[in-house]
Structure 1
Amino acid sequence: MEWRQLGLRMVFGSYGPGGARPCRARRAVFLDNAGAHGKQWQTSLGLRVGDSVAKLRRLYPQARLRTYTRGVAPVRGWWLVVRTSHLPDFHQLPALLAKTHAGRVTELVVNVHAEGD
């Protein structure tokens, strides 16, 4: 779903049994991630959509460019805030990542990764 005026998009997925489809498993549909692509959005450290990768590296020196493949759709970006999932195998995941193109931040993505919780 996308709200262009707000510069937001949300990706929902089903973690229902047997790969259940959202229309048939309404209670098994959950928010997977949300992305902010409007220039008004910023992180708590002040990184904004439109900022340079150089500023991203200054604000988040620990950030690494990686692809996250565990959600509904793979997302490639700079892992700004990393946490450990408690399901199913205690893997690392980007709670907040920044997608970039041509040296600029194009979207800030929050991964919910609730896996049906």
Structure 2
Amino acid sequence: MHVWDLAAAHLAAIDRFDSLLTESEPSMAINLGTGSGTTVRELCAAFNQVVDTPLTTVDAEPRPGDVAGGYTKSDRAQKLLGWTPAFSLTEGIRSSLDWIPVRDELLKD
């Protein structure tokens, strides 16, 4: 998920904080995500759409303990926060790669 989508969800939660929580329910979990999973192959393909030099991948058997998959059930975020992700996986990868060359300069003490 793109970092700006995560930030937008947190701002929506702050805006609606007082209307969401009550004395009987002082906290709640709200999953954030796209609602659909991303396989390793899909992630590599999205990465390869963004970079000049594509990744070379090698298929291998699952490792012990690997899960078959995972995804978020994000309908609560949409219903309570009015939030859905706006950015694609490819846009998130592109933004992450764009951040790398400027990160150290922007975050120096």
Q: TM-score, normalised by structure 2?
A: 0.26
More strand by share: 1
Q: TM-score, normalised by structure 1?
A: 0.25
Higher RCO (CA 8 Å, separation ≥ 6 residues):
2
More helix by share: 2
Larger Rg: 2
